[in-house]
């Protein structure tokens, strides 16, 4: 049973006790999340407050239920006031609920490696996005119709087909992973800055799951075969599996770079980081990404780090990899 020293508390049917302080923290974080979600500039990081609430309070499902219920009430309220399109109520509620559930599970889930939680949550989120984008009146279609009118390089149908092909073949999954990753890292950083404690492992301790290299090879071979025989649905599935493997090896390559940097002097480390930042924001960024990917793949045969045995310790939300 989770119990903390606080006189006023709210007890659930499951017998898990939450303190008044934790409940207020969750409410405040949910409110901030709702504000971020409806803000143009901060909408990309609207999941950060929820991650912070889970890590600080330790309550996973309380946070999810409060966030999901608040979003439902707010969405219906905005619809009744005329500030929200009634036709989009159901899509908004389902999508946001899925995003909340996936992210909170990534932060506070147990009994499954974070990398697997990332893959599963991003996969479900990707399906939700693709379903919404497939609607005829989706904002996505409206935006691209306007773009094709302003920049008549391609026809509207050609632009839509091109973008949809990219999204279906891993583009949507990459976007979802990026969204979850950025929000998770900012939430962990916020906890470190506000609570003055670091409770997560860095990417330098991340190792790709066993046999990922063979899954990568198999998916690449499958893409070529299914494309040759024009079996589009299987080709799309193979592309997404390939994308998952690429993301995993890119993370491993970044972890190796962090590990190597940690062994350098402070001055040389700053110089290397400055060079990397310059390269990433230059036309050479693609080369840098490819180099990190290759580094991560090569590590499958030539390990650059001595693998650390996971410590046998209680799970802390956001701490594992």
pLDDT band at 320; cut points 50, 70, 90: low
**Residue range 255-309, pLDDT digits in tens:** 998 888 888 777 877 777 787 777 777 777 888 899 999 999 999 898 888 655 4
Residue 203, CB half-sphere, CA atoms under 13 Å: how many? 19
For position 298, what pLDDT does the model report? 94
**Mean of the pLDDT values across residues 240-269?**
89
**Residue range 41-78, pLDDT digits in tens:** 899 999 999 999 999 999 999 999 999 999 999 988 88
- From start to end of the chain, where are the E strands? 9-11, 17-19
For 10, residues 6+ apart whose C-beta sits below 8 A from its C-beta are: 17, 18, 19, 20, 23
Tokens of residue 281, six digits: 């924001």
- Note whether 305 and 221 are within 8 A (CB): no
Q: What is the pTM of this model?
A: 0.85
- Note whether 97 and 71 are within 8 A (CB): yes
């Amino acid at each position: 049973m989770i119990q903390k020293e606080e006189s006023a508390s709210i007890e659930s049917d499951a017998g898990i006790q939450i303190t008044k302080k934790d409940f207020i923290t969750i409410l405040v974080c949910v409110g901030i999340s709702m504000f971020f979600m409806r803000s143009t500039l901060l909408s990309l990081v609207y999941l950060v407050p929820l991650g912070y609430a889970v890590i600080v309070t330790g309550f996973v499902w309380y946070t999810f239920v409060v966030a999901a219920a608040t979003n439902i009430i707010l969405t219906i309220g905005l619809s009744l006031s005329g500030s929200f399109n009634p036709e989009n109520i159901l899509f908004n509620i389902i999508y946001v609920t899925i995003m909340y559930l996936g992210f909170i599970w990534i932060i506070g889930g147990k009994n499954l490696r974070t990398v697997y939680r990332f893959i599963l949550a991003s996969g479900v989120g990707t399906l939700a996005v693709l379903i919404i984008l497939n609607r005829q009146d989706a904002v996505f279609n409206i935006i691209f119709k306007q773009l094709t009118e302003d920049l008549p390089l391609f026809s509207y149908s050609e632009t839509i087909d091109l973008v949809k092909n990219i999204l279906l073949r891993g583009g949507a999954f990459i976007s979802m992973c990026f969204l979850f990753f950025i929000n998770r890292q900012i939430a962990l950083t916020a906890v470190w800055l506000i609570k003055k404690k670091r409770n997560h492992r860095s990417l330098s301790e991340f190792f790709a799951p066993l046999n990922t290299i063979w899954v990568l090879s198999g998916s690449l071979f499958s893409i070529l075969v299914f494309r040759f025989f024009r079996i589009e649905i299987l080709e799309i599935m193979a592309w997404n599996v390939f994308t998952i493997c690429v993301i995993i090896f890119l993370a491993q390559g970044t972890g190796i770079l962090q590990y190597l940097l940690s062994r350098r002097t402070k001055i040389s480390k700053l110089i290397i980081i400055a060079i990397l930042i310059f390269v990433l924001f230059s036309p050479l960024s693609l080369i840098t990404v490819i180099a990190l990917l290759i580094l991560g793949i090569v590590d499958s045969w030539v390990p650059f780090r001595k693998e650390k045995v996971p410590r046998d310790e209680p799970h802390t939300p956001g701490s594992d990899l």
